[in-house]
Amino acid sequence: MNEQGSPWVKTINRVHLIYLGLLPALATFATLRVYGYPLKFLLFICGVAAVGIYLAVLYAYAPLPQTLLTSLWALVDGPLFALTARWGSERWLLSFAIGGFLVDGLAIWLAILWLSLVSPLPTPGQRWASITIMIAVLGAMLSLFWPYLRENVWGQWIQIAWLIVGIAEGGFVWLRLLAAAKMAREQNDENILYIALLVMAWVGAMIAGSVLYEL
């Protein structure tokens, strides 16, 4: 990675990138393990597309903090929110995974979607085609987590407000980080390895969660 900062900052930033990259897999596994999903092929197609775009943008365009305190806070704020947002759920892994995904993962995806809406590039037709696909992918992915949200969040207005605040705050932060559209890291073999391994992790999580649900 082409990053500045002390070795501690670089290490924390690497851990942060890995955590963000694993969020979709963790949330998918935990949800499928408990609730299953009827349209697995659709989930596979949409999930691979969504996770691939998410990881590519995250690795290439997400600038991470360059000081020790800010890098530590950036790493722990999402998990802390996920822990406090688990009210009403007795399934720790499920609530933590989905809370983390909503706070960090969904916020990043919404920032990517918004930037696609306002960006002048590429052509309008190509841009709207991409936006349509991204919205369809977002709908399919959110439908995966709907059973959990309906069971544990629906009607819990404090928790709903807490999640909305977290998603909005995260989306605003990531929107500002990504708005510059500048490469944060060089495109190299490490980039390809990061994306490939974490996409495979998501596919493995989907398969494992589905199998365990059936068993």
Q: Which of 55-64, 182-191, 195-204 has the least mean pLDDT?
A: 182-191
Res. 75 pLDDT band, cuts 50 70 90: confident
Q: How confident is the model at residue 1 (pLDDT cuts 50, 70, 90)?
A: very low
Q: Residue 28: is its pLDDT beyond 60?
A: yes
Enumerate the H helices of the chain as residue ranges: 7-35, 40-61, 68-84, 92-100, 106-118, 124-152, 157-179, 189-214
**Amino acid at the residue 202:** W
Integer angstrom CA distances of residue 204 from 30, 55, 65, 67 = 12, 16, 31, 35
pLDDT of residue 2: 43
Output phi, psi for 141, to 5 deg. -70, -40
Dist CA 180 CA 182 (whole Å): 5
Whole-angstrom distance, CA of residue 128 vs CA of residue 165: 28
State percent of the chain over pLDDT 90.
Answer: 9
Per-residue pLDDT, 84: 65
pLDDT of residue 119: 65
Decide: 205 and 37 in contact? Cβ < 8 Å: no
Task: Give 93 or 48, the one with higher predicted confidence.
Answer: 48
Least confident of 21-25, 67-71, 122-126, 165-169: 122-126
User: Is-cis flag, bond preceding 122, omega within 30?
Assistant: yes
Tell me what the pLDDT averaged over the chain comes to.
77
Q: Which carries the bigger pLDDT value, residue 4 or residue 204?
A: 204
Residue 179 sits at the vertex; the CA angle it makes with 80 and 59, to the nearest 5 degrees, is 60
Percent of the chain with pLDDT strictly greater than 70: 80
d(CA 74, CA 91): 25
